Amino acid sequence: MRPVLATLLLCVFLAASAAPAADAARASCAKASLAIAVDAGHGPKVPGATSARGAPEYDFNLRLARDVVAALAAAGFPKAFLLDPKGSDLPPAARAARANTAKAGLLVSIHHDSVQPQFLETWSVDGRNRRYCDRYAGYSLFFSTRNAFAGQSLALAKEIGRELTAAGLAFTRHHAADLPGERRELVDDAVGVYRYDGLAVLAGAHMPAVLVEAGVIVNRDEEIALSGPQRRQKTAQAIARAVAVWCDGEKGR
């Protein structure tokens, strides 16, 4: 073998072996075989935030997560699945581990948002005091640079943001506020993508992963919208469209 050809072949071999993980993720973006884990955040026992009218966040998350699975199936992803259909109140890292065990090629974690306690006011609903905040509304999207596929996660988050924006939804900027518990870097202030490295469900996932806060359930008007099938469908279909666009982009890179 001529030295030049041998060197060339060695370079090709090294280039191919340098990025096996990214190649595997790209190759797995065949719609028919891409396993997409959809995580309904929190669980029945520890349900996350409480809405302005006293409903648990987990109920919102589970309803939307089911609709996202259905929308993905309708968009040509038959292997989308609910990560924990029984609702076992898994801690965030255990959700990532479960997606890893299931060999998911993508993880989407569904949540509904609240605000810092100092912004909450009190009103009465059916004779009970409830906490609300009408100051903030809208979705937000998160990715973690600790995820091994941070670039692909960010690309998907942006795509979801573009689809939600195209569907007429706005994002909330309150996670970028200079306050304890917030101060998240708004990496895309056109479509609402934040960096949040410490989110264990994203950081521990061995596949691209995005967390979706679908809206602010402590906002009295947005809670009503988020409770209804129209907003849920709009969000679920936007996510499914975004995954399809992202997936096509992955194959073409």
Coil, strand or helix at 129: strand
Question: Angle between the 229-252 and 57-74 helix axes, to the nearest 10 degrees?
Answer: 50
Of 140 and 153, which CB lies nearer to Zn ion in the complex structure?
140
C-alpha 114/C-alpha 110 separation (Å) is 14
Neighbours of 56 (CB within 10 A): 19
35, 41, 52, 235: which one binds Zn ion (CB under 5 A): 41
Q: Restricting to residues 100-139, which ones interact with Zn ion according to CB under 5 A? A: 111
The footprint of Zn ion on this chain (CB under 5 A) covers a number of residues equal to: 3
Q: Give the DSSP per-residue string, 6-23.
A: HHHHHHHHHHHHH-HHHH
Residue type, 109: S
Residue 48 touching Zn ion (CB under 5 A) = yes
Residue 92 touching Zn ion (CB under 5 A) = no
Smallest gap, in angstroms, from Cβ of residue 116 to Zn ion? 14
Tell which residue, 41, 118, 115, has the closest CA to residue 82: 41
Tell which residue, 150, 149, 224, 230, has the closest CA to residue 185: 150
Smallest gap, in angstroms, from Cβ of residue 43 to Zn ion? 11
Smallest gap, in angstroms, from Cβ of residue 114 to Zn ion? 8
Neighbours of 190 (CB within 10 A): 11
Q: Restricting to residues 162-181, which ones interact with Zn ion according to CB under 5 A? A: none
Smallest gap, in angstroms, from Cβ of residue 249 to Zn ion? 28
C-alpha 72/C-alpha 81 separation (Å) is 9
Of 111 and 175, which CB lies nearer to Zn ion in the complex structure?
111
Of 62 and 247, which CB lies nearer to Zn ion in the complex structure?
62
Tokens of 18: 């340098």
Coil, strand or helix at 242: helix
Of 116 and 245, which CB lies nearer to Zn ion in the complex structure?
116
- Give the x/- contact pattern for Zn ion in 205-244, rule: CB under 5 A: ----------------------------------------
C-alpha 211/C-alpha 135 separation (Å) is 22
Span near Zn ion by CB under 5 A; candidates 45-53, 139-147, 161-169, 237-245: 45-53
Residue 47 touching Zn ion (CB under 5 A) = no
Residue facing Zn ion at closest CB distance: 111
Span near Zn ion by CB under 5 A; candidates 13-21, 41-49, 67-75, 138-146: 41-49
Of 216 and 240, which CB lies nearer to Zn ion in the complex structure?
216
Smallest gap, in angstroms, from Cβ of residue 207 to Zn ion? 21
C-alpha 40/C-alpha 44 separation (Å) is 11
- Token look-up 């075989």 returns 33
Binding site for Zn ion (CB under 5 A): 41, 48, 111
